[in-house]
Structures are given as structure tokens and as C-alpha cells.
Amino acid sequence: MSVFVLKPKAVFAGGDNKNPTEFQLSQNYPNPFNPTTNISFSIPDESYVTLKVYNILGYEITTLVNKEMKSGNYTVKFDGSSLPSGIYFYRLQANHNIATKKLILVK
């Protein structure tokens, strides 16, 4: 069995100066999407943050964020143009907080 890994593109839009009071992962917009979507999240404290995308089988497709980040609201633009249509999941982890949401790519 062969496993093909395609590398989608991500553009990090940065954060704002507002300090959120809670950890939050928003539903991507638009959803379903073709080929780009925005994923927004909030972290209340400075944290080491990872944001990863997985396929329906649980294989990691790409890592969109993997770094120390200050408290704030952030948006990452995800480009799935190199991926086939399907259901994917994105998972945000910041310190002990974890959240997962579903996104749908339709071509």
C-alpha cells in the first residue's frame, strides 16, 4: 500500500491586540470550501500552539501552525487545492487545551 502526502499551503494572517479570555477554535469559513478557507482561533495565554489538518482516516496531512504564540485572536488561511475532495479535520492544541472541528473540501 502506498501513502501519498500532498502539501497544502497555509498563510498565517497574524493576531490582533485584543486579549481573549478563553481558548476557542471557530468553525472554518466557508465550509464546504474550494480551494481555500479561513480557520480562526483564540488563545488567552502565551502558549505553544499546534494546528494540524488530518484526513478522514486520521493521517496528518499538514501542520499549519507549530510555534510559541502570544495571547490573541488569529486566522490561518488554508489552501487545499492539492488535496482531493473529502472530509478533513483540523485540531488545535495550546498547552492543555485541545479542540477539533470538521471541514469539507468540495471540488
pLDDT at 1: 38
User: Mean pLDDT, consecutive 10-residue segments, the chain of 107 residues?
Assistant: 44 62 95 95 94 96 94 92 96 96 96
Which domains are delineated in the chain? 39-107 (2.60.40.3080)
Using CA atoms, how far apart are residues 72 and 22, in angstroms rounded to an integer?
A: 10
pTM for the whole structure: 0.84
pLDDT at 12: 53
- Would you say how long the chain is, in residues? 107
Phi and psi torsions of 12, nearest 5°? -90, 120
Taking Cα atoms as reference points, which of 26, 27, 14, 29 lies closest to residue 72?
Answer: 14
Taking Cα atoms as reference points, which of 26, 20, 8, 24 lies closest to residue 45?
Answer: 20
- Asked whether 8 and 81 are in contact (CB, 8 A), the reply is yes
